Amino acid sequence: MKDVTKMSDDFDRWYTDVVRKAELADWSGIRGMMVVRPYGWAMWEAIMRAFDDMIKETGHENWAFPLLIPREYLMKEAEHVEGFAPEVAWVTRAGGDMEELEEPLAVRPTSETIIGPLIKRYIQSHRDLPKLTNQWNSVVRWEMRSRLFLRSREFWWQEGHTFHASAQEAIEEASMILGNYRSIAEDWLAVPVLTGRKSPAETFPGAVHTLTVEGLMKDGLALQMGTSHYFGQNFARAYDISFSNKENERELCYSTSWGISTRLVGALVMAHGDDSGLIVPPKVAPIQVIVVPIYRDDESRAKVERFVNSWAPELKAAGVRHRVDWRDERPGDKYAHWELKGVPIRLNVGGRDADAGQVEMVDRLSRARVSVPISGIGKRLSHELDSFQTKLFDRAQQFQRDSTFELRTLEEVIAHFRERGGLVWADWCGDGEEEARIKAETGGVTIRTIDESAKPSGKCFVCGNPAKYRVALAKAY
RNA sequence: CGGGCGGUAGCUUAGCUCGGUAAAGCGCCUGGUUUGGGACCAGGAGACCGCGAGUUCGAAUCUCGCCCGCCCGACCA
């Protein structure tokens, strides 16, 4: 019953099996709406804590803005409205008699259009800037096709919205946040990412530019793991968010917004998992070490229990999140169970170990069994977890390298993606019509990022004219 | 949102063609034997057969509508 579909047989089914059987999330029965279960939510909590600490460090503050947005507000920034209109859900009735509202209210798909008109009252002077806001909430986007964590009609995220006195400062803000996102992906989730700028077709509606963090999943598809947008004065103009500068002139703010979501839990599943289930990076693992006691009767159980109790407090003291599995199951069941759940390190502890003053340590990556003395166990495990985190990242990075290619023509790109996935670097001229053509002719391959730090050396892979950009191409979720 | 497929116990499914009030495995509960890689024996609980109409003496089964899910496509900042 616990068996999951093999990844190689059907990746999508594997993904769904793992998410559900490892108890991360379920569908709710309400189309496209998911239930995030405690084990999945705990991973999101770890991400929340990490990112919240990062932004507090740089002066950001958490706010709470309304869930519902008056239509009038939503409509003000033309490009933004156009981009979001197809996925907005509306509240049109309320009250016991379900009376029609005078003005429909949009359920926020993102909050630029409610924060804009509300934040302006707190911004009068250049002394009020920068205004660095963030909120942790959920948003609703009326998706037509849903997948657990990756695309659901409601998802949980943070949305940062900042307002600055200069373009320069706002641009720097957006890129600093992108750096934080890279850190969340790489240092916390152990998923190596490409960072860069989005092409025009992929740029957030209303943004001057969008920066992105893109990861590669085990099926060879890319996943957008976070975006950070620079708006210039677009939203400030739409909502008249202005301030008096030092010369006592009225000036429009420059703003940004940025977000990461529960989609990252899906990313971690698809970047690390295997046929036995999840592999959770220690830094976000709800349980980092699982202890499986092995005994045959009350007497041997008591002995193992005494032994475990003698050193378990040391794990806590060392900051190791652990649990002892005293459920009345056979050890083999427990091994399989915790492997499915992706717990990084398991300790098998039986009578023999108690006698020898040691435990048998098994890591989820190698599954090699090593006997380790209980003396200094806390420190040892803490070290093993760090090493596990590193190995997981290295493994993912190796996969990314092995899945990265350099191609020169559209024909090569088409042929490549007919055969396999992965990331393809190519030089591109930047023509907007070509971008649509790439997508159409390759069966959905898109420009995931533009690497602004690299200079193109050759010709555009589509038209052969001199190239302006180095781009990473991939099929994406 | 279009095309295709599906929904029967917690899970996976049989039964549906040919209408007669539901079956199995796994899981769950109880007791016992077990326990260093997914145990075994015995007993037990558990199903408004996705929902609603219709046809019929009688519907899991036939018809229609709706809801939910899966696959393909469109869409997805």
Would the pLDDT of A9 be above 90? no
- Mean pLDDT rounded to a whole number for chain A: 95
pLDDT digit string, tens, across residues A110-151: 999 999 999 999 999 999 999 999 999 999 999 999 999 999
Instruction: Compute the average pLDDT of residues A196-222.
Output: 96
Q: Where are the domains of chain A?
A: 11-272, 282-388, 404-474
Residues 272-331 of A with CB within 7 A of strand B: 276, 294-297, 328-331
Would the pLDDT of A104 be above 80? yes
Strand B contacted by A12 CB (< 7 A): yes
CA A354 to C1' B33 (Å) is 26
pLDDT digit string, tens, across residues A241-252: 999 999 999 999
Cβ atoms of residues A109 and A85 within 8 Å:
no
Residue A80: count other Cβ atoms within 10 Å of its Cβ: 24
Residue A144: count other Cβ atoms within 10 Å of its Cβ: 9
Q: Which of helix, strand or coil describes residue A320?
A: coil
Q: For residue A234, which of A206, A205, A197 has the smallest C-alpha distance?
A: A206
Assigned superfamily of A11-272: Bira Bifunctional Protein; Domain 2 (3.30.930.10)
CA A159 to C1' B35 (Å) is 50
Strand B contact nucleotides, protein CB < 7 Å: 1, 10-11, 25-27, 34-39, 67-77
Task: Tell me what pLDDT residue A447 has.
Answer: 96
Lookup: nucleotide whose C1' is closest to A350 CA: B36
Assigned superfamily of A282-388: Anticodon-binding domain (3.40.50.800)
CA A3 to C1' B7 (Å) is 22
State which fold the A404-474 domain adopts: Translation Initiation Factor IF3 (3.30.110)
Proportion of chain A above pLDDT 70, given as a percent: 100
Same fold, A11-272 and A282-388: no
Instruction: Compute the average pLDDT of residues A167-172.
Output: 98
CA A328 to C1' B31 (Å) is 15
ipTM of the complex: 0.93
Residues 67-86 of A with CB within 7 A of strand B: 83-84, 86
pLDDT digit string, tens, across residues A331-345: 999 999 999 999 999
pLDDT digit string, tens, across residues A368-388: 999 999 999 999 999 999 999
- d(Cα A402, Cα A422) in Å, to the nearest integer? 9
The model's confidence at residue A190, banded by pLDDT at 50, 70 and 90, is very high
Task: Tell me what pLDDT residue A2 has.
Answer: 57
Residues 373-432 of A with CB within 7 A of strand B: none
The model's confidence at residue A350, banded by pLDDT at 50, 70 and 90, is very high
DSSP sequence for A19-33: HHHTTSEEE-SSTT-
CA A246 to C1' B64 (Å) is 72
Task: Tell me what pLDDT residue A1 has.
Answer: 38
Range of weakest confidence among A42-46, A403-407, A439-443:
A439-443
What letter represents residue A15's amino acid? Y
Strand B contacted by A87 CB (< 7 A): yes
Task: Tell me what pLDDT residue A457 has.
Answer: 86
pLDDT digit string, tens, across residues A233-243: 999 999 999 99
Proportion of chain A above pLDDT 90, given as a percent: 94
Cβ atoms of residues A281 and A189 within 8 Å:
yes
- d(Cα A341, Cα A22) in Å, to the nearest integer? 5
